[in-house]
């Protein structure tokens, strides 16, 4: 017997690197704080980077404490996925401030700076 949530795939949502899902849908925005486009990632990886010593999440807000003591206050649309990655990979955290990009192990996050305009996720059915 099925449920009203048959279209959701919990195995995907439970995977550490699975994309954000909202009731069987996923975000399709590439604005700051949402999905990471491969070109954005390519530009970020060629820019100056800094090691992140610690990270804290408060809702969609993430506070990144760099090894030199500076703090970056950013946002991300999928804080639960970001939290899972930060817990799974407690080291190997690198930030690329010019491109508001965060890498946690092999996972990339396109974050929004405090002064970037915020837009809620636009979802498409999957």
Q: Is the predicted pLDDT of residue 18 greater than 90, yes or no? A: no
Instruction: Provide the pLDDT for residue 17.
Output: 45
Q: Is the predicted pLDDT of residue 45 greater than 60, yes or no? A: yes
The 10s digit of each residue's pLDDT in 114-123 is 888 777 776 6
Range name among 9-18, 37-46, 81-90 with the lowest pLDDT average = 9-18
The half-sphere exposure of 73 on its side-chain side, counting CA atoms within 13 A, is: 4
The pTM (predicted TM-score) of the whole model is 0.73
Choose among 53, 22, 37: nearest CA to 99: 37
The domain ranges of the chain are 31-115
Q: Is the predicted pLDDT of residue 22 greater than 70, yes or no? A: no
């Amino acid at each position: 017997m099925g449920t009203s949530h048959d279209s959701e795939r919990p195995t995907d949502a439970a995977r550490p690197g699975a994309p954000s899902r909202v009731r069987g849908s996923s975000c399709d925005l590439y604005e700051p704080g949402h999905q990471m486009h491969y070109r954005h990632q390519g530009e970020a990886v060629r820019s100056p980077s800094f090691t992140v010593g610690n990270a804290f999440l408060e809702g969609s807000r993430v506070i990144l404490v760099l090894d030199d003591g500076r703090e970056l206050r950013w946002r991300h649309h999928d804080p639960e996925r970001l939290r899972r990655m930060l817990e799974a990979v407690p080291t190997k955290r690198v930030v690329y401030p010019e491109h508001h990009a965060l890498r946690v192990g092999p996972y990339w996050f396109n974050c929004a700076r405090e002064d970037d305009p915020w837009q809620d996720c636009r979802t498409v059915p999957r």
